[in-house]
Amino acid sequence: MVQVTFVSAAGDRRTLDVRAGISVMEAAVQNGVVGIIGECGGSAMCATCHVHVDPAFADQMPPQQEIEEAMLDCAAAPTDERSRLGCQILLTEGMDGLILHLPEAQV
């Protein structure tokens, strides 16, 4: 299992224990995390799964593909160097303890 903590824009924290192999977006949607929508179902076509990865875990992240980079330009909230699409991050055991900050808005 992988422990993942979502931190809302207001600072509320929600910690989940989820199985490795699913995406950050799937983990959030399956567990009703407010602030992640996942409208396109994970095909990098909506940017409603935008998260800011805590810098301590930057090295654990998979490389960003071109389609993800392009879609982040369409995100509702401002993006920065920590921005990723949650659907493009498949959780691994090595990501245990991952902290993700949610933007103020996804649409």
Cβ distance to ligand FES smaller for residue 11 or 67: 67
x/- binding map, residues 67-106, to ligand FES, per CB under 6 A? Answer: ----x-------------x-x-------------------
What are the residue ranges of helices labelled H in the chain? 24-30, 66-72
* DSSP H or E segment with residue 17: strand 13-18
Over the window 12 to 51, marking each residue x when it contacts ligand FES by CB under 6 A and - when it does not, the resulting string is -------------x------------xxx-x-xxxxxx--
First to last CA, the chain: 30
